[in-house]
Structure 1
Amino acid sequence: MEELNRLLASETFRNSRQSEKLLRYLVTNTLEEHEEALRERAIGVNLFGREQKYDTNEDSIVRVSANEVRKRLHRYYAQPDMEASIRFSMPLGSYRVQFETVATNPPVREVAAPVPEKRTTLWWVSGGIGFVCLIAILLYGLWPKAAIEEFWGPALASDRPVVILAPNPVVYNFRRDTHQRLRGKATSHVQWQMDPLTPPPDTTLQWREVVPIIDQYVGMGSAHAISDVSVLLSKHGRRGDIRFGSASSFQDLLNSPAVLVGAYANRWTLQLTDELRFVCGERGQTPEIVDRVSGKTYPLKNLQPDGRTPEDYAIVSRLFHPKTGNLMIALAGVTQYGTQAAGEFVTDPARLEEAFRSAPRGWGRRNVQLLLRIPVVERVPGRPEVVATHIW
């Protein structure tokens, strides 16, 4: 706990009471092996005062706070003069803290260098070392890289920040006097923002009572994906430049690598991927994925009006786009669940390794599309299944 106290007293953590509180809670319960206390719902209830049955899919306080802790840990250990006997880390998808013991270098004793007996011996030794180094360099160039390095390499190698283009969904609310009329009492600003109306089904409304809201909201699945990508970039010392809605332009894509988040609410995803093999389409106002080569479709047969579904599909596209010349990655779920799962998929080294285990050598320099099927249980996306892979 001494190392934890030193970390929390640092400038990186002491200005964030919430991050300090969460990390102390997670470290304590990890050391005491309280697995139940490390579940998302338990953290929300015990630490953030949420109700016992609160909806973790709708309220992401724990996930957002955990990502903030991960960012601060990365920033703390990235300091050039940092010395720590134990390092704390928290893998994505888990709230269990991992502890890594850092070996300290033993004191170096000065030893007089032996005098070579003959010049020829030194020449042979030097030549042998040079030959070994040359072989090592050649092997390093031929040795296959990790899948996550292949996938993200061009973006991480760029000297420009990675532009993250968020979707721009239109949200509808009602005028405050309409809320008051339907509730039968005065409505506070908090109620107007957060409490859903539940009038009788045959209640009539006038269009003037409806308020379209543009460029102010982003969906939960997209927020998860943006967070996962931002954390990955931060771990590799890169910066993500997030653009929302109308704040984005084609010029952004011309100058930098880009990650397009979302499908039907992101105009750039629809425009820049419409000629690829797997595209987002619709049939009779029902969204679906279309394979333009085989003609096969992947519809969401049980999609509800509120967006809930027992399964989802997502397209992960990674290509050097001919219209921009830069690397472009699109994370396009049919619904929010698919977009969230796609974000988790492309930032998880183990999942990418599994997905590209059979890929041809050098696939990282080619264009790739993956079609994912995602089971959804209690509004939480499960582990994606790779349905199809296209590399060209």
Structure 2
Amino acid sequence: MTDPEEGRKRALLSRIACSVAFQKSQRARELLEYLGRRSIEDPEHPPREHDIGVAVFGRPPGYDTTQDTLVRVQASHLRKKIEQYFEEEGREERLRVRLAKGSYALQFYEHQPGLDPAAPAPFLARHPRLGWVLALLLLAVCAALLMWNRRLESRLEAGLGPHPSVDRLWRQMFANGHQTHLLLSDLGLLPLQDALQHHVSLEQYQNRGFGALAEKEIADPVLRSAVLSFFNRYPTTIADATAARRLGILFALNGLPLDVLSARDANMNMVSGGNVVLLGSRRGNPWVGVYENQLNFQTVFTEPPRRASFRNSQPLPGEQPEYPVEWSRIGYCRVAYLDSLKGGGTALLISGTDVNSSDAGVEFITTESWVRQLRQKLGAGSGPTPHFEVLLKTYLARSAVSRFELVSVRRK
């Protein structure tokens, strides 16, 4: 490879990484940069899935690629981003690159503009009636989008609009130049821990050896197979999906970048540096444990018998030393705003004793009246909102939160 040719390739990759399609996807940029460097410097030895997981996404050296699909998911995402670039900003590029399916080697090639005369006529030219059908379908989609937009406006009017206290708080927390990662709880982890009859530690969670752990500790082969089958589907809850949508709208309204992913796809650098929103209990999102020792309200979960509570490390007058859960009746949610572990970023923890209580925490921190009440109790006045820790009590009915109330507010 000549130096000028290598320079052309590196310049192309730089333009792609700086394009609009990649602006809000830090992971795609990091993967593109790694694959580009390997493809240019060592084209005869393309990287393996395991190499990428360790080098780009912080997976431990011994992790199991048969159970952890992060690299494959992100490669598919990158492939679509590259195609989007050449369809939009890069449509005039002569030198192009692609990531073929089933490969982790970038392929550079010269694009020849115009149609090949020997190529068959475009599909719609050969089927003109189909063009009318597609046009009608497009009109139907546009009508559906208009209806969806109206429903979205109604949601904004109901409490997710550009209200001053909420917007000010979110810009204070996340408009700091760092990417924000929203980590949803890992629903597949719950039945696995039920079968193990103990928590999966953060160290075990990072090592990803779930199959070996189940093989060692779950004696019943039928139960073991069922638990791992559910676990490997990467399940999530409707409550978490609703919460992610609500938070995503708020980030978008304030022009803030956001990546949404499962806790299982995170790593320590992501959790301890930059901005992170940790959604869910410590049992469903072990990354919560990274910040647990900074908090007054400590997670307690024991089994069997199953019991959950928040322990009040330093009770104030009128507070209880412990706030126990009454399953299906009373739950709790802790909401905490802290500096990220490495500093410079923000960590927002929304940890309920159940998924619906976590959803109540999302409603609390995104609703104008509640944020105003929070600022008042913190004595924020006209200044910025100080770091805080809040405990909410939730009242459950038919597996949903009927209402919630503020139990305690602490400045951090």
TM-score band by shorter chain is: 0.5 to 0.7
1:356 partner SS: helix
Contact map agreement 1:270 1:280 (CA 8 A) in 2: no
**CA distance in structure 2 between the aligned counterparts of 1:218 and 1:207, rounded to whole angstroms:** 20
State which structure, 1 or 2, has the greater radius of gyration over its C-alpha atoms.
1
Quote the offset at 1:23 in angstroms.
Answer: 5.0
Counterparts in 2 of 1:94 and 1:365: CA distance versus 1, 3 Å: closer
Higher mean C-alpha displacement, 214-223 vs 235-244: 214-223
2:386 maps to which residue? Answer: 366
TM-score normalised by the chain length of structure 1: 0.53
1:33 maps to which residue? Answer: none
**CA distance in structure 2 between the aligned counterparts of 1:156 and 1:207, rounded to whole angstroms:** 43
Code of the residue aligned with 1:270 in structure 2: it is G
1:234 maps to which residue? Answer: 252
Code of the residue aligned with 2:187 in structure 1: it is P
What are the equivalent positions in structure 2 for 1:314-329 lying under 5 Å apart?
Answer: 314-329=333-348
Quote the offset at 1:91 in angstroms.
Answer: 2.9
- 2:396 is aligned with 1:376: yes
Contact map agreement 1:166 1:243 (CA 8 A) in 2: yes
2:173 maps to which residue? Answer: 155
**CA distance in structure 1 between the aligned counterparts of 2:398 and 2:301, rounded to whole angstroms:** 25
What are the equivalent positions in structure 2 for 1:197-208 lying under 5 Å apart?
Answer: 206-207=222-223
**CA distance in structure 2 between the aligned counterparts of 1:227 and 1:159, rounded to whole angstroms:** 22
Q: 1:331 aligns with which of 331, 334, 350?
A: 350
What are the equivalent positions in structure 2 for 1:247-326 lying under 5 Å apart?
Answer: 247-263=265-281, 264-283=283-302, 285-294=306-315, 296-301=321-326, 303=327, 309-326=328-345
2:155 partner SS: coil
Counterparts in 2 of 1:20 and 1:312: CA distance versus 1, 3 Å: farther
Contact map agreement 2:310 2:324 (CA 8 A) in 1: yes
Q: 1:244 aligns with which of 240, 259, 262?
A: 262
Quote the offset at 1:291 in angstroms.
Answer: 0.9
Q: 1:348 aligns with which of 363, 367, 385?
A: 367
**CA distance in structure 2 between the aligned counterparts of 1:390 and 1:290, rounded to whole angstroms:** 14
Code of the residue aligned with 2:396 in structure 1: it is V
Code of the residue aligned with 2:279 in structure 1: it is V
**CA distance in structure 2 between the aligned counterparts of 1:388 and 1:231, rounded to whole angstroms:** 28
**CA distance in structure 2 between the aligned counterparts of 1:258 and 1:239, rounded to whole angstroms:** 12
Contact map agreement 1:226 1:343 (CA 8 A) in 2: no
Contact map agreement 2:176 2:345 (CA 8 A) in 1: no
Code of the residue aligned with 2:346 in structure 1: it is L
Contact map agreement 2:190 2:284 (CA 8 A) in 1: no
**CA distance in structure 2 between the aligned counterparts of 1:291 and 1:220, rounded to whole angstroms:** 30
**CA distance in structure 1 between the aligned counterparts of 2:351 and 2:155, rounded to whole angstroms:** 24
Quote the offset at 1:330 in angstroms.
Answer: 0.5
**CA distance in structure 2 between the aligned counterparts of 1:321 and 1:334, rounded to whole angstroms:** 23
Contact map agreement 1:146 1:353 (CA 8 A) in 2: no
1:164 partner SS: strand
Quote the offset at 1:322 in angstroms.
Answer: 4.1
Quote the offset at 1:347 in angstroms.
Answer: 1.1
Number of residue equivalences? 236
2:144 maps to which residue? Answer: 21
Q: 2:154 aligns with which of 90, 108, 116?
A: 90
Q: 2:231 aligns with which of 214, 239, 246?
A: 214
Q: What are structure 1's unaligned runs of at least 5 residues?
A: 1-13, 28-65, 71-88, 99-144, 174-203, 304-308
**CA distance in structure 1 between the aligned counterparts of 2:333 and 2:190, rounded to whole angstroms:** 26
Counterparts in 2 of 1:245 and 1:322: CA distance versus 1, 3 Å: closer
1:253 partner SS: helix
Q: Matched residues, percent identical?
A: 16
Quote the offset at 1:155 in angstroms.
Answer: 3.4
1:337 partner SS: helix
Quote the offset at 1:299 in angstroms.
Answer: 1.1
RMSD: 3.3
Quote the offset at 1:353 in angstroms.
Answer: 1.0
Counterparts in 2 of 1:254 and 1:19: CA distance versus 1, 3 Å: farther
2:186 partner SS: coil
**CA distance in structure 2 between the aligned counterparts of 1:376 and 1:18, rounded to whole angstroms:** 38
**CA distance in structure 2 between the aligned counterparts of 1:341 and 1:16, rounded to whole angstroms:** 38
* CA displacement 1:339-366 (0-9 Å, x = unmatched): 1111111111222112322322367453
2:380 partner SS: coil
| Higher helix residue share | 2
Code of the residue aligned with 2:399 in structure 1: it is R
1:391 maps to which residue? Answer: 411
Contact map agreement 1:368 1:391 (CA 8 A) in 2: yes
Q: What are structure 2's unaligned runs of at least 5 residues?
A: 1-136, 192-219
Counterparts in 2 of 1:386 and 1:248: CA distance versus 1, 3 Å: same
Contact map agreement 1:220 1:336 (CA 8 A) in 2: no
Contact map agreement 1:312 1:374 (CA 8 A) in 2: yes
* CA displacement 1:218-263 (0-9 Å, x = unmatched): 2232222222111100111112111213321121134421111101
Counterparts in 2 of 1:25 and 1:357: CA distance versus 1, 3 Å: same
Counterparts in 2 of 1:172 and 1:222: CA distance versus 1, 3 Å: closer
Code of the residue aligned with 2:386 in structure 1: it is R
